[in-house]
Copies of this chain bind each other. A is one copy, B any other.
Amino acid sequence: MNTRPTHIPGALAATSLKQLRFTAPLVHCLTNDVVQSFTANVLLALGASPAMVVDPAEAAQFGAIADALLVNVGTLTHPHADAMLAAIHAASQAGKPWVLDPVAVGGLSWRTEFCHEIITLKPAAIRGNASEIRALSGLSASGRGVDSGDDPLSALPAARQLARGTGAVVAVTGETDYVTDGMRSWAVAGGHPMMTRVVGTGCALSAVVAAFAALPGDRLDNVAAACRVMSCAGERACAVVKGPGSFTPEFLDNLYLIGEEWLNGEGMQ
C-alpha cells in the first residue's frame, strides 16, 4: 500500500509553470501573521499576484474576484475565522478553488475543530506536513508545534483517505513530498533540510499550490508541479548559500529565474 509513487516528470511541471506565468493568477491569501511578506514575495517572484484582504465583508467580495484562495490557520483568531468562512463561500459560489494549510492541526484544539469543519466545504487542495495530514484524516498524529514528527511516506495512506473523503488533492510534504487525489499519486523530490530553518517555506508552498490550483488541466499534476517548482528553486539555492539568511534572497531569485530546463531531473534525492 505504501509503494513509493513515481516522481513527477520535469516536463509536466514545466508545462504547469508556463501556464502559471501566462495566466498570472491573483491569489487571495488569508494566511498567518508570520509569513505574509514572504508568501507575497514568493508569489510575485514566480509571476502570480498576491492580495491579502482580511475584513470579512471585503474578503467575501474579494473571494469572488480572485482566481484562488489560500486559507492558512497558523495564527487563527475569531475575526480571521469569520473572514475565512466568508471568503470560502464566496470563492466556492464563484467557482474558484480554495486551498487549506492546516498549520499545527492535531496539536491545538480549536483550529483542529475549525479545520474539520471547513474541509467539508470542498477544498481544491490541502497541503500539510505528515502529522497535520494524519490529524485531519482522523489517524493519530505526533506533532507538538508546526514541525512534523512523522515521515511523509508513512502518511501517504492518510493523505489518500483525506483526498477521497474531501475531494481535495492532498500534498503531504517533507524530505520528499507526496501528492495524491486518492487514486493516483506523485512523489516530488528535492528541497533541502536547510529550508526547515527558514520560516514560511511550507506556508508559501501552500500559496503556490493555490496559484497552481487555479490553472486549467489536471489538478493533481498542477499541485505536484507547484511542489516541484518550489523544491527545485530551494535545492538550487541551498547548493550555493552558506546559511538560512542568504537562502531567502537566492530562493526568490530562483523562483523568478526558474525555467523549463531546471525542472528536468528529479531533484537531488
User: Contact partner of A245 among B53, B77, B146, B248, CB < 8 A?
Assistant: B248
Residue A98 is within 8 A (CB to CB) of chain B in the complex: no
Bound CA–CA A37/B74 (angstroms): 13
CB within 8 Å for A52 and B32 given contacts A45-B197, A245-B251? yes
- Inter-subunit contact B253/A58 (CB<8 Å): no
CB within 8 Å for A75 and B53 given contacts A36-B33, A253-B244? yes
- Inter-subunit contact B107/A65 (CB<8 Å): yes
User: Contact partner of A256 among B75, B107, B243, CB < 8 A?
Assistant: B243
- Inter-subunit contact B49/A147 (CB<8 Å): yes
- Inter-subunit contact B253/A41 (CB<8 Å): no
- Inter-subunit contact B77/A44 (CB<8 Å): no
Closest-CB distance, A123 to chain B (whole angstroms)? 22
Q: Which residues A176-199 have CB closer than 8 A to chain B?
A: 196-199
Closest-CB distance, A62 to chain B (whole angstroms)? 6
Q: Which of A7-15, A108-116, A159-167 contacts B (4 or more CB under 8 A)?
A: A108-116
Q: Which residues A113-164 have CB closer than 8 A to chain B?
A: 144-147
- Inter-subunit contact A145/B66 (CB<8 Å): yes
Chain B residues in 8 Å Cβ range of A241? 253
